Amino acid sequence: MTEISIQNDRLVDLFTTLCSINSPPRQERAVVEYVKGFLRGLGLELREDNAAEIVGGDANNLIATLPANITGAPKIFFSAHFDTVEPNPNLKIIVQDGVIKTDGTSILGADDKAGMSAILEAVRIVVENNLPHGQIQLLLTVCEEIGLQGARALDLSLVDSDFGFVYDTGPPVGTVITQTPTHDTMRVRLIGKPAHAGVEPEKGINAIQMAAHAISQMKLGRIDAETTANIGSIHGGQATNVVCPEVVIMAEARSLNPDKVNAQVAHMTQLFEQAAQQFGGQAMIEIDRHYEGYTLTENDLPVQAVRRALHRLGMDAPMRPTGGGSDANVFIARGLPCCVVGTAHQKIHTHEEFVLIDDLAKSVDLTLAIIREVAEMR
């Protein structure tokens, strides 16, 4: 494969254009249309599924296919997500001294538009230079930030890939996530009984007091090296003169060990139920397996391809676990082998988010090197 020099100005323009299109979850249509136009201009075959109907949004997942120009190579996919963690309609981008950031009043949206721009630019270079490649699909999803909903809704009948790469974690560029937790969420309704707080409080059952009693005994935060748990929100109550009749609590538990997730959720459930019984109320608990964890090794094909590509580029090939999840959790659980690859975004989900231009270019170089490695697997 001919060595290609990345056009940084063109890459920065692509990245900042993507970031400038406001695309919070369920409102990704504008950026989807932009990317469709970009890929249509490169001659890719475009398909959409019916994710919008499933997730209640205005856009579907986009599945784009670049047919192979060589025979015998594995079929691969690259994936990134369209949505950002919060809206940024008044985004002001600053490009200075090799850094791309905002003015501090909003997120940049580099999660995951840094990953997406690296994938799109690499595909553009492959097409423009007629570089040898097997079939490449792009699985570009919606609603990742609100529970990996787009990946869950992805129509697998549109996917024709042997394995792939999800560009959705931070630097160093090329980091491979080899282990992720299993993640459960909990919705807890504690139901008490209203009464006038000044006239006859003894006739009421205070749901806030039930919640406080349970949570005060609960193991939370860092449970051990593999396990975490959190109470994320509590909502309830009407007025100071009413004994609170109901609260709704949102909580979660995660662990690299699925048995420990089950044990932590059982522990939390037991304390909520015991508190309800002790105070004479009720506990109604819904538990959802948000996503399944996975463990990869250096022998898995996606990991091999990334590490060989990094070595080809003279870069380190770090592997690490993470406490978070991504579309890869859903893809792997649904039978699509893949690994998460580190990209250029830093301080994500904050107004201090930034990207180094050199890291963006490295992400493109890595993508091209992966395509080359896979092409040589014939």
Q: Is 299 helix (H, G, I), strand (E, B) or coil?
A: coil
Name the pairing type of β-strands 93-96 and 99-102.
antiparallel
Closest CA to 233 of 177, 166, 180, 185: 185
**Given the residues 28, 49, 111, 144, the one annotated as active site:** 144
What is the 3-state secondary structure of 67-120? CCCCCCCCCEEEEEECCCCCCCCCCCEEEECCEEEECCCCCCCHHHHHHHHHHH
Cis amide bond preceding 321, omega within 30: no
Closest CA to 138 of 11, 121, 129: 121
Residue 184 annotated to the active site: no
Count Cβ atoms below 10 Å from residue 128 Cβ, excluding itself: 10
Rounded CA separation 254/245 (Å): 30
Closest CA to 249 of 188, 294, 291: 188
Rounded CA separation 188/198 (Å): 28
- Beta-carbon contacts of 120 under 8 Å, excluding residues fewer than 6 positions away, are 14, 35, 38, 39
First to last CA, the chain: 15
| 115 close to 363: Cβ distance less than 8 angstroms | yes
| 348 close to 111: Cβ distance less than 8 angstroms | yes
Instruction: Tell the burial category of 225 from Cβ atoms under 10 Å away from its Cβ (0-12, 13-18, 19+).
Output: exposed
Q: Which two tokens stand for residue 309?
A: 């590509």
Residue 83 annotated to the active site: yes
**Given the residues 49, 83, 184, 353, the one annotated as active site:** 83
Q: Is 275 helix (H, G, I), strand (E, B) or coil?
A: helix
Q: Which residues are identified as catalytic?
A: 83, 144
